[in-house]
Amino acid sequence: MVATAPVVGTVPTGRQHFTGALRAEWTKLRSVRSTLWCVAAAVVGGIGIGILATSSEASTWRNAGIIEVALFDPTSISLTGLLFGQLAIGVLGVLTMSAEYGTGTIRATLGAVPRRPVVLLAKVVVFGTLALAVSEAISFAAFFIGQAILSGSTPTATLSQPGVARAVVGGGLYLTVLGLVALGLATIIRHTAGTIFTFVAILLILPLVVAAFPAKYGHPVGKFLPATIGAAMTATTARGAHQDFLPSFPPWRGFGVLCAYAVAALVVGGLLMIRRDP
């Protein structure tokens, strides 16, 4: 009787493991209803509110005063709806992580892919790709539709004009990175309601609090707020870049600050995943 050697399966390489994690995350993201609802809300809000804003400007332009004419930025007006879109993209970023903790399916995910950084990176890549595609599509659609509505009633903008293409592309990048910030916060907090409250507070409530302080205190802090950074990124002039009259960083410098927020939230969340999750 001849002894046979046991058959040993091939151990997947790190690249194959990561590819499998990407496929799993994409399957999870596209198969849940919350993704469709969040994307739909971002599209309807981002484009719809832009239509309302540009329609209002077109109907009242004849009665505009000197200050309104001087501060008018057709690009920024058409991208007004991104202020709503950021909430929908942020909620989707939160649910990408927190939904698994809420349902307990994170145990199955970590059982299939024990390396926590790989799980988090796969979520970042899949969500970031989807968010970028959706956000840029919304930004460009809102811009072109808005300019069509303004045409014949107010000054309009084209992508070839200085700062316009940067503002339109920047609007999509802003929403994408803001969604990654929300994903990082969800990794840290691990609770859907708590993370959404924190995200909304940072985005909407904190600017009101900072604006209430005297200028010598509020202005230096206000430059670092995501809302102020977003206003600067979607404007073509420095005067149109103020959020509640708070001074802002130049667009790309502010975008760098926002990216730093996302990296910090994701790194902290990743470290906590390693330490907390068995």
96 touches 127 (CB < 8 A): yes
Half-sphere exposure of 20 toward its Cβ, with a 13 Å CA cutoff? 12
Q: Residue 185 is encoded by which pair of tokens?
A: 């916060």
pLDDT at 1: 41
**pLDDT of the residue at 18:** 86
The one-letter amino acid at 191: H
Residues of the chain falling short of pLDDT 50: 1-13, 240-244
pLDDT tens digits for range 97-139: 999 988 888 888 888 888 889 999 999 999 999 999 999 999 9
CA distance 85 to 126: 19
* Domain assignments of the chain as residue spans, ordered by start: 18-59+67-276
Indicate the residue type of 55: S
Does the reported pTM lie above 0.85? yes
Q: Which helix (H) or strand (E) holds 45?
A: helix 33-60
The rounded distance, in Å, linking the Cα atoms of 158 and 163 is 10
* Helix pair 164-189, 82-103: axis angle to 10 deg: 20
For residue 139, the number of C-alpha atoms closer than 13 Å in the C-beta half-sphere is 29
